[in-house]
Structure 1
Amino acid sequence: MNVIVIVPDDHSRRAMGAYGDKLVLTPNFDQLAEDGILFTNAYAAAPVCSPSRAALLSGQYPSQVGVHDFLMLNEKYKDRGLNTSALIYPQVLKQNGYVTGMIGKWHLGTAPERHPLKRGFDYFVGYEQDLAPYNPILDVNGVTQEIKGHTSDIFVKYAKEFLNDNKDNQFSLNISFREPQRPWDQVPKQDLDAVSHIDPIVPERDGVDTEWLKKMTRNNYAAIHALDRAVGEVVAEVERLGIADKTIIFYVGDHGMLIGHHGYFGRGAVGVIAGDEVVGSENIANLYDEAIKIPMIIKWPGVVKENIVINTSVSNTDVYPTILSMLDINLSGINNLVGQDLTSFIKSENDDDRAVFAEYNMENFGNAKLRMVRLGDYKLIKRFGLNAKSELVDELYNLATDPDEEQNLIADGSSAQIIKRLEDLLYQHMKEINDPAL
């Protein structure tokens, strides 16, 4: 079997037809969900790019592999990134005879020893952090050059080339699209036109310009349409080449995006919306579901039936061990994996409770150490390194009765038992991974 892992940038779980948005246009994602397995409670290990991507590739939590906040292109970060000692899954696949490719956003360190071609990839076309939507400057197998066109179309072109060159090989391909990262309106006209009629449903908050929020959401839909179109082309090429029956496809978000939710704008690092402006841009840390919950779909042809929905809470740290299990590669010799093999959940359509965790150490535009645990309907967020009492800074939500996380139950006396249980799980997890927040 082959494996393709597709990762977007800032694609909120809510913004997909398969997840219940009746306005967004995502026919290819919706078809992928019908053909595969839709996870309704998938979480990123962190709510910003670099640590989340580090978790997906390493099967470990970001604090275990040296990535805390999103990496920036400055002197502070020139020697930082994903620990080279972390064995990422493309390295394992390469050791097992797979041709490995990476197209798109890397964002895990600029030092030569951290270059994708030194980290288990045979083929790399991509970039580190920022990318112009049109005519981007890309690293093409170690050579930097400008490529004409829109990034979504460019990445599809290179993906098709990789697939055609390796259709007769066992391969692993990661495609990390730029979309739907801002600016959302910088996409081909066909994508803008496709959503121009939509009147989005947006959060209503005091002090927020609703019309501006609708415009921003509509533009976000345009970028998602471009992403959906690109993913559809990749899937169609797999089918055209006659390798669909032996190619597993993962679609896994890197984190979410708040667009007016709770009055904020951004990912795990947000600013406050005042009228039609964002104040503070990225200086408030959060672990709301809108920031940390992700879309996750897996198509596993020939093994499981189609149109499966799994409600068990899962993490993007689970992708690594799940891929290796699907490909019948022995996990026993790989140390430090904390992600869980999901194949048993998938095959049995199991919805048993399972605790999942997330973390965010904000470093760039503020200082914060947030940790999260979810078990069943309840979600606890704790802040470390502060002098205030926990009932003033921590959060507890019942996601069954309060899915929008508007009612913080942390100071509710009747919640003491569930808080204790979740705290015990969280502290046990933090000790197991040697979390520096302790």
Structure 2
Amino acid sequence: MSRAAPNILFILADDLGWADLGVYGATDFATPHLDALAGEGVRFTQAYANSAVCSATRFALITGRYQYRLRGGLEEPIARSGHVHGLPPEHPTLPSLLKGRGYDTALIGKWHLGHPPAFGPLKSGYDRFFGNLGGAVDYFTHKPGVGDAVPRDLWEGEVPVERAGYYTQVLADEAEAYVRGRAGQARPFFLSLHFTAPHWPWEGLGDEAVSRELRDLFHYDGGSLRKYGEIVEALDAAIGQVLAALQQTGQARDTIVVFTSDNGGERFSRTWPLVGQKTELLEGGLRVPTLLRWPARIAPQVQDQVAITADWLPTLLAAAGGAPHPDHPSDGENLLPVLQGQAPVHPRTLYWRYKAQAQRAVRDGDWKYLKINDNEFLFDVVADPRERANLRERQPEVFARLRQQWLDWNEGFLPITDEVFTHGVTPDVQADRYVPERATRAL
């Protein structure tokens, strides 16, 4: 592989809403660094997360495939069944495939794909890991729960460590040091910078005293629009710090920077004109702010191409001169031809399911079929992004076609069964393994 291969910085926010950046409509707080990134690169208008919740999207990101192919990707059992579930170490991943092409690979921040000794970043393609293994930590104590008996969820490799400071800033400092250390190196780098912000608990930079008094990290009775703005602004400043390191070390031009979120926002997020939030298959739970900058190869643009999390594996591998593993073809699509003006914007067909299929969704071209419990809808989400005009009676053939498409697609993936979320079952029943290739339909 030639050193002409680009560096890759993949930045993932946690629970950031569709309109939580200035360039997407935020007005209550400022995101100058991310707004500048948007002006220098690509701003997607129709980019989606693979799931309306966190770890499920991360399975899709790292494998480039629908998360429903792996038991750990089914509706966040990782959060409910201890250390049983995770990403199988033998599964090809974005970092392992890039590592095979000569990349130095690092994850700084949130993993949430299973715990050691069975699972972990170092087992799935990363050369280096610093961050939290679980879903969320307190911004100051770096603990996943409240109380002295709860251990810190902060790791260097597989060794627990301590750091003082606000977690968003701690991650930014680690990432800046990594970027500066890679300057002048012969091997390109792939850095996954996965923040926990703006995920709860609702703590800004000056809230260390609040952190010490907190009784529950879920913090259902806390937070405010102002506090949420402080968390997002701290995230924006942290990203600006890392981007400045790229610029100051002369690496910015040949580094692909991607910024996106793992799902829609939570209670304080701005989603206008969309409705819905995290855990919902409405547009506000799935559509996410997404930016890409590669000065050497891609011109600044506003991009209407429909995209999804699983697209990043084939896209970034193509940029590095590689391709997905032939035994595990991606359910995503290489976006580079569209971004480089070599192919026109084209329709996509995307699928989702959530809550044991109580929520179902298909986006096919401009049409979206949505099922929530016993209620079924058909929307033109380009003309009606707020999903208010149910067209199932006016367009019965389209409604029936998309409804059946979802049923046919769903047959190819792991079902949700009781043991997925059951504690204490035997490991051979619940351990993660590959799903047989019962379907080959791609996006």
Query: In the alignment, is residue 419 of structure 1 matched against residue 430 of structure 2?
Result: no
Query: In the alignment, is residue 237 of structure 1 matched against residue 253 of structure 2?
Result: no
Query: In the alignment, is residue 323 of structure 1 matched against residue 316 of structure 2?
Result: yes
SS of 1:252's partner is strand
Query: In the alignment, is residue 184 of structure 1 matched against residue 202 of structure 2?
Result: yes
CA contact (8 A) 1:47 1:292 kept: yes
SS of 1:259's partner is coil
Query: In the TM superposition, what is the alpha-carbon distance from 1:213 to its structure 2 partner?
Result: 12
Of 274, 295, 300, which residue of structure 1 is paired with 2:294?
A: 300
- For 1:328 and 1:176, locate their aligned partners in 2 and report how far apart those are by CA, in whole Å: 24
List gaps (5 residues or longer) in structure 1.
Answer: 190-211, 269-285, 387-391
Who is 1:59 aligned against? 64
Of 2, 7, 16, which residue of structure 2 is paired with 1:2?
A: 7
Question: Greater strand percent: which structure?
Answer: 1
Moved over 4 A (4+): 71-74, 212-215
Q: Give CA-to-partner distance per residue, 1:135-188, whole Å, 9 cap, x none.
A: 423111221122100011100111112112222131100011011011234334
- For 2:100 and 2:7, locate their aligned partners in 1 and report how far apart those are by CA, in whole Å: 15
- For 2:254 and 2:395, locate their aligned partners in 1 and report how far apart those are by CA, in whole Å: 49
Query: In the TM superposition, what is the alpha-carbon distance from 1:71 to its structure 2 partner?
Result: 4.2
SS of 2:368's partner is strand
- For 2:388 and 2:235, locate their aligned partners in 1 and report how far apart those are by CA, in whole Å: 31
- For 2:222 and 2:27, locate their aligned partners in 1 and report how far apart those are by CA, in whole Å: 15
Query: In the TM superposition, what is the alpha-carbon distance from 1:415 to its structure 2 partner?
Result: 2.2
Q: Give CA-to-partner distance per residue, 1:175-232, whole Å, 9 cap, x none.
A: 110110112343347xxxxxxxxxxxxxxxxxxxxxx999722322221111111111
CA contact (8 A) 1:45 1:359 kept: no
CA contact (8 A) 1:71 1:109 kept: no
Who is 2:107 aligned against? 102
Which moves more between the two structures, 416-425 or 98-107? 416-425
Q: Superposition pairs for residues 389-428 of structure 1, below 5 Å?
A: 392-410=374-392, 413-428=393-408
Query: In the TM superposition, what is the alpha-carbon distance from 1:426 to its structure 2 partner?
Result: 2.7
**CA RMSD, Structure 1 to Structure 2 (Å):** 2.6
Q: Superposition pairs for residues 7-46 of structure 1, below 5 Å?
A: 7-46=12-51
SS of 1:146's partner is coil
Query: In the alignment, is residue 173 of structure 1 matched against residue 191 of structure 2?
Result: yes
Distance 1:297 1:22, change over 3 A: same
- For 1:160 and 1:185, locate their aligned partners in 2 and report how far apart those are by CA, in whole Å: 23
CA contact (8 A) 1:354 1:375 kept: yes
Who is 1:372 aligned against? 361
- For 1:152 and 1:357, locate their aligned partners in 2 and report how far apart those are by CA, in whole Å: 32
Who is 2:282 aligned against? 288
Query: In the alignment, is residue 152 of structure 1 matched against residue 168 of structure 2?
Result: yes
Query: In the TM superposition, what is the alpha-carbon distance from 1:110 to its structure 2 partner?
Result: 1.2
Of 261, 267, 280, which residue of structure 1 is paired with 2:278?
A: 267
Amino acid at match of 1:351: V
Amino acid at match of 1:19: Y
Who is 1:142 aligned against? 158
SS of 2:9's partner is strand
Who is 2:371 aligned against? 382
CA contact (8 A) 1:71 1:81 kept: no
Who is 1:434 aligned against? 413
CA contact (8 A) 2:202 2:223 kept: no
Amino acid at match of 2:292: I
- For 2:110 and 2:89, locate their aligned partners in 1 and report how far apart those are by CA, in whole Å: 18
Q: TM-score, normalised by structure 1?
A: 0.80
Amino acid at match of 2:335: L
- For 1:247 and 1:311, locate their aligned partners in 2 and report how far apart those are by CA, in whole Å: 23
Question: Greater helix percent: which structure?
Answer: 1
- For 2:90 and 2:123, locate their aligned partners in 1 and report how far apart those are by CA, in whole Å: 12
Of 347, 350, 359, which residue of structure 1 is paired with 2:353?
A: 359
Q: Give CA-to-partner distance per residue, 1:282-319, whole Å, 9 cap, x none.
A: xxxx211111111111111211212x111121100000
Which moves more between the two structures, 159-168 or 330-339? 330-339
